[in-house]
Amino acid sequence: MTGLTSQPTHAALQLRITAGILFAAARFVPVPLVDDLVRQQIAAWMVRSSVPTTMSKAAIQPLWSDESGCVGGCLGALLWLPIKLLLFPIRKILSVVLGVRWVSHDLAEMLLLGRVIDHALAVGLLQEARDVADQTRQSREIRTAFDVALKATDTSLLSALFATAIGPLRAVVAAAVRTLRALRTSGADAPTLEGSDKATIEGSVSRIEAVLVQPEVKRFLAEFDARVLENLEVLAKRRA
């Protein structure tokens, strides 16, 4: 196999691009800690939309969250809380200064993670019938393979293409932040695009989708696929 088995539908691809825009826009939420919570909520929405609805939430949680239970996860969050609050103003300044770069990177992360999940489902790494504990371990393995591959991948080409396709960044981010605010207010699990904000975000989604068929993007995906497959093979050997 030379690449990941990933054939997302048009609807799935649009949802992932939308998730990428919202995931990135959460950086601009002006409330400390809430910005991180919203980012995780959007990532969870993207993952749950990519797998069968009957699959255990606990079994797939490692795909969007690296927190391993409240003993480790909650303690770590408490230890990081003062530092996050202290760095929050600096993070917001960087979000503005590095806006296009970070939005493009977050878009790439959601799209590539969806691609890896598609492959995992196609080859049986993610299965509804598996024991929850076993599937949770497998989900962590998949996420590890993805994270290592992403860190080793130069996303500058993809970021440059996305930066052009996104459109007027200020308008897109403003529309996305309003959508995220409505999501938090409603208490829903999934965001709803409405009115002029829907038109703004969907316009950006369409332009980004058009970029994905370009030859240079396909070459980029082939290189990323190779890294993920190599990482999955190494992790499988270690487990065996």
- Evaluate whether residue 143 is within a structural domain: yes
**Residue 74: predicted pLDDT:** 42
Per-residue pLDDT of the chain (240 residues; tens, 9 = 90+): 468 988 889 999 999 999 999 999 888 887 666 778 899 999 999 999 999 988 999 999 999 985 543 333 444 444 544 544 444 454 444 444 445 677 888 999 999 999 999 999 999 999 887 889 999 999 999 999 999 999 999 888 888 888 889 888 889 989 999 999 999 999 999 999 999 999 999 999 999 999 999 999 999 999 999 999 999 999 999 887
- Evaluate whether residue 71 is within a structural domain: no
- Evaluate whether residue 152 is within a structural domain: yes
> Which phi and psi angles does 204 have, rounded to 5°?
-65, -40
- Evaluate whether residue 5 is within a structural domain: no
**Residue 32: predicted pLDDT:** 62
- Evaluate whether residue 18 is within a structural domain: yes
- Evaluate whether residue 91 is within a structural domain: no
Cβ-proximal residues to 138 (8 Å cutoff; 6+ apart), any chain = 125, 126, 130
**Residue 66: predicted pLDDT:** 59
**Structural domain range at position 23:** 10-66+99-239
Largest Cα–Cα separation, the chain: 53
190: left (phi over 0), alpha (psi -120 to 50) or beta: beta
- Evaluate whether residue 4 is within a structural domain: no
Write out the two tokens for 235.
């992790």
**Residue 159: predicted pLDDT:** 83
- Evaluate whether residue 223 is within a structural domain: yes
DSSP 214: S
Residue 106 CA to residue 42 CA, distance in Å, equals 11
Domain count for the chain, please give it. Answer: 1
Residue 214 CA to residue 77 CA, distance in Å, equals 41
